[in-house]
Structure formats: structure tokens, C-alpha cells
Structure 1
């Protein structure tokens, strides 16, 4: 009889604990972090887990107990139901209210833009303006003021005085609020650059170079290479041309990249483009610090926005490559033939001209 009473007492206590736990749980579901508060922008990234979302909701002051949010998601089997996007949430919302919004897909009407690799600032400005965000002039006024951002981005430490952010606005797909101003847009692109560059900054294999020189070289590789697989070799060609031991074999320290000439020439009103298909003899000789056919060394700065593959190639050229020249191949697939001597280069050049 005594054992029965003990069992009943234990069950009663267990029921009380469960009841109290359930009461506390329900109370948390109905509770809000605050009774007043400003709306908060909250972005759910594609592929983000419920655990990560719960942590960030807690950090943003939108929920009190991230662990209970995770439990609620699992209890309702909603792990895969939370929709990526930008939401406006409030600290006056309950945990259940927030979860309903996040699975509803009723996101704020963001504007999505895609910035391809290899564009110069003016082309990026045109994409942003065409999307209805800010005008080209507004964007360029901010993007050309590199000094404005130097203190906030350590990777801009080697940016020359008076330089623009050419090359530092990372090409990718972005979503912006319709009300985003030019500085917000530029900072988001800069943030992505920092994020991507951090993946290679500890593995730079070119001795004595700055971040600015890596980005400059990467922009040239981006414009010169058609195939990702050839970027390390093309990188090696350009770095080799700058080595003193190769100066007698190729232009005395000239980089000789036609893409830099294109940048120096700027917009062609006849073709209606920033990048021309063919360059005349006079154009190839244009006097500009960006014309690496007449000015030794790297140009003063990047000529376009390089992607991660080009940045990686600039930082990690093919160290086994002895090449100083490359010519487009007749395969017409974007590939090149590489040469170590001017004689070999002329043979490949003749082949290319013959198959035109």
C-alpha cells in the first residue's frame, strides 16, 4: 500500500512538473520581448537553418528564448517551411506570430539585381539605376569616393589616395529595399568583397604584393580570360612579365594587357559600349597610366570588378608556368595557346589570323 501511495505521489509530481512546464512554454509562446519597439528588418538567407535563425532572432531582440523557438519549429515540423527573404518584424510580436510571418513568404518587396563579373563602375551604376534604386550619378558619387570607406574596411588600407572603389564592389546577386540609398548599396557590395577576399588572403603566393595590387591584377585577368580553368596560367603570364629576369624577353617590364587599353579609352559612343571589340594602332598607343602597352608595371588600380576565381588566380598564379605570351586558339571556345618565346607566339598568332 505504501508503494502504491509513493507511486501515486510520484505521478502527481510528474504531472505537476509537466503541467508547469507546459504553462511556462505556453506563456513564452504568448510573451513578447517588449511592449513597445520599432520594427526591425530581418533577413532570412537561402538555406539558413532554423537553429541559425533562432540565434539571430534572439540577438536582434525579437525573441526571448531561442531554444524554445527551435523547439517550437521542430514540434510543428516547420524546419523546411521558413521562407528566405527580407521581413519586417517587431519586438512586440509573439514567437508564434514571428514564425507565422517567416513561413508565410510575405516578404517585403525587395529589388533584386545581378552584377556580372568584369564590369566597370559605370556599368554597375547603370544596372542599379535601371532597377530603380538610385540614379547613376548618385551611385557613382559615392563609389568614386574610396576615402569615405577606408576607416571602416581594413582591406582598403592599400587603396591609393584619391582612388575610387573600382574593383572592390563584388559582382553577385543582391536584394535591396526600394528605399536603399547609394551608400547602403555600396557598403553591401563592399561587405561581400571583404567576405570573399577573406577566403584567399592567407594563401597569397605572390611575394610583397598589397591587396590593391592583387585586386588590380585580378581585374585584368577577369577581362582577359574567357575560361576559369585558364585564369591561373594567364595570371602567371602577367606576373612573369613583371619579373626583372623576364624584362629582356618581353617589353622591359610592360604588362601588355589590351584590357587595360580598353579601360583607358573609356566609352565608345559609336559602338555604344565601354569595351571595344577591335583596337586600332593609334588606340593601342594611347597615352595613359592605364595603358600597360606603354606604361610599365601594373596600372594605378583595377579596371573592372573581378569575381572570386579571378581574385584567387591573381593571388595564386600557376607557379609552374614559364609562359610570357598567350593567343586565342582556333577552337573558338575561349581557350588560348601559351608560349614562352616570341617565335612560338608568332606561330600561334599566324594560326589564329589564318582561321579568321
Structure 2
């Protein structure tokens, strides 16, 4: 009887120990184990990182690293580290943290209104793992350019401004390949046919759209401006677009941060393939990244007989259009008198 009682007591003691151990284990696995105040944070694991590097990366956000390691080891995470961007939420348990570190969270990568391919590489490089130089070299790869009909001067035309879902650790080449797929998707049969109807290739349409984009922020006016430039191209006239001169000036000085509000005669005669006052036809590449409305304006231009236009004094942001040089000279003088009165020098 006494022996049975001892066995029962030992059994109870063992069960109690197991319950306590189980409770402790449950606590270590499922209780909150974060130490940041924000609702959520992202951590970034570079390509090629191992488990020891991951622990250093997440240490500032984890309250008890030993508890995290306990679960990580049980889940074989150290042997299956993945690079990428990972979302950690305040109050996550060690179990939740390990699960989160297995789920690569995509980036909503956005770009628009970039003046040069260098600016675009910097913009993209600030949002994904490859740096701007690696991206730039990938964009300018001679084999890629030749295979896809681009040059270093016009490759900016390949990038359609939008928001794209990509993984943070997407390699530069894979990102570039995604962009050429998006380009081909945008330039479907319908849009390509519209460009051809204007006597343009998709790249040429983009170059013209970049000028239209820079000429006017008024989206409702862009089809009319596109119509004017297409009229000039058909007549064999120089486009005489001030934004191309401004781009040429910035390119010559290698200072694309400067703000140029006015161009003068000496600027109009500067030698540059981007100066559409001295060269007939389109410049060798876009002078900016045109938005979709500018592209659509070139593909669906207003049919008009205008040849000239200049900034309007009466409707700020808009332009005055003319079919003859005499009409244009009147409008141009009015604008010149106004801007001289404002004291704008450059």
C-alpha cells in the first residue's frame, strides 16, 4: 500500500513537472517577444546572409533572442534562411517571428517623372537591394540594348511609370527583365498601330511624349501640343521645343538640379543633338520620363492646323496657339513683354 502511494506521488510529481515544463515551453514559444514601439517594422536580410547575420539584424527588435532561437532551431530555420524584406508586428511571439522570417514581403516599387536613366537607377535603387550603379550597368548592357532595339540614349523609354510589386531582393537583371515585359505589355498592337499612324515607333512616340510632358502640366492641353509637334514633323520643320534646349543646357553643364525658367537666343543656337532648334526631327532620347497622359496625347493627338504656340499670359500654365507666324509673333511679344516685366533672368 505504501509503495503504491509512493508511486502515485512520483507520478503526480512527474505530471506536475511536465505541466510546468509545458507551460514554460508554451510561454517561450507563444508569448509576445518584440521590443519595438511601432505597430510594425520591416527588417531586410541581404542576399547571402546566414543565420548568425540574421540574428544580428533582428536583435534590435526581439526582446529575448534565446526564445527566438529555441523556436528557430525546432523549425529548422537556421538551415533555411531566406533573403528579402520581412514584416514584424508588435507583440509577435517567437513562433510568429520565425514564421514571419520565412515570408518575403513584396515592395510596391514606384517611379515617375525621372529626367535621366541615372535618376531612375537611383530611384529604383532606393527601393530594392541592388544599388544604383548595378542597376545602371544592367540597364545599359550593350547586348540587352541591341536585342531589344534600344540605345544608351533612349533606354529610358523602356520604363513605363507606374507602381510595380517586386521583392526587395530582386536581382538587377531580373528587375530589368520585368520592365521589358511591362514595356511590351504596354506597347500592345493597338498602341503600336496608333504610333505608326503618326509615323512613329514606340520609342519615338515616347521621346515626343517626353517633350509634350515637359511643355505643359495641363493634361487637357497635351493632345493639342502633340498635334502641333506632329504637324511640324510632317512639314520637316524643327520642333523648336524649349524643354529640349533646357535639357541640353543641363546635360552640357552636367547639373540636372539647376532650375532654368527662361532660355535666350544664345541658348537656342548651342550645339547639341538634343537642341531641336538647330536639329530637325526628334532628339536621340527622351528628355524626361513621360507620364501616361503624355504618351496617350501623342497616340491620340488633336487634329489641328497649328504650327506655333507660346505660354499664355492670361491663362497661367496654358498656351496660345497660332497657325501663322504673324499670329505667333503677336502672342510671343505679349509673353516676352510680360516676362520681362517680371524680371526673370534665367
Q: TM range, normalised to the smaller chain?
A: 0.5 to 0.7
The match for 2:219 is 228
Structure 1 residues 209 and 270, CA gap change in structure 2 (3 angstroms): closer
Q: In the alignment, does 2:223 pair up with 1:240? A: no
Quote the RMSD (CA, aligned, Å).
3.1
Structure 1 residues 339 and 147, CA gap change in structure 2 (3 angstroms): farther
Structure 1 residues 263 and 209, CA gap change in structure 2 (3 angstroms): same
CA distance in 1, matches of 2:85, 2:234: 53
- 1:339 is displaced (CA, Å) by 0.9
Number of matched pairs? 241
Per the alignment, in what secondary structure is the counterpart of residue 140 of structure 1?
A: helix
Which residues of 2 match residues 136-285 of structure 1 at below 5 A? 136-145=132-141, 147-148=143-144, 151=147, 156-157=148-149, 159=150, 164-198=154-188, 199-204=190-195, 206-244=197-235, 253-267=237-251, 273=257, 276-285=260-269
Q: In the alignment, does 2:142 pair up with 1:133? A: no
The match for 1:60 is none
- 1:332 is displaced (CA, Å) by 5.3
CA distance in 1, matches of 2:132, 2:107: 16
- Indicate conservation of the 8 Å contact 1:197/1:308, yes or no: no
Per the alignment, in what secondary structure is the counterpart of residue 174 of structure 1?
A: strand
Structure 1 residues 178 and 233, CA gap change in structure 2 (3 angstroms): same
CA distance in 1, matches of 2:233, 2:179: 31
CA distance in 1, matches of 2:124, 2:250: 20
Structure 1 residues 272 and 222, CA gap change in structure 2 (3 angstroms): closer
Structure 1 residues 325 and 111, CA gap change in structure 2 (3 angstroms): same
CA distance in 2, matches of 1:331, 1:181: 51
Q: Please give the per-residue CA displacement for 1:150-207, whole angstroms capped at 9, x wherever unaligned.
A: 54xxxx44x46x6551222111112332212222222223322222222522334635
Which residues of 2 match residues 30-69 of structure 1 at below 5 A? none
**Structure number, greater radius of gyration:** 2
Per the alignment, in what secondary structure is the counterpart of residue 228 of structure 2?
A: helix
- Unaligned stretches of 5+ residues in structure 2: 1-83, 87-99, 340-346
CA distance in 1, matches of 2:195, 2:130: 36
Structure 1 residues 163 and 329, CA gap change in structure 2 (3 angstroms): closer
- 1:147 is displaced (CA, Å) by 4.1
TM-score in terms of structure 1 length: 0.59
Structure 1 residues 185 and 332, CA gap change in structure 2 (3 angstroms): farther
CA distance in 1, matches of 2:226, 2:242: 14
The match for 1:336 is 319
- Indicate conservation of the 8 Å contact 1:167/1:302, yes or no: yes
CA distance in 1, matches of 2:253, 2:165: 31
- 1:271 is displaced (CA, Å) by 6.9
CA distance in 2, matches of 1:204, 1:174: 25
Per the alignment, in what secondary structure is the counterpart of residue 109 of structure 2?
A: strand
- Unaligned stretches of 5+ residues in structure 1: 1-85, 89-103, 248-252
TM-score in terms of structure 2 length: 0.60
CA distance in 2, matches of 1:274, 1:214: 27
- Indicate conservation of the 8 Å contact 1:125/1:139, yes or no: yes
- 1:108 is displaced (CA, Å) by 3.0
- Indicate conservation of the 8 Å contact 2:222/2:294, yes or no: yes
- 1:340 is displaced (CA, Å) by 1.1
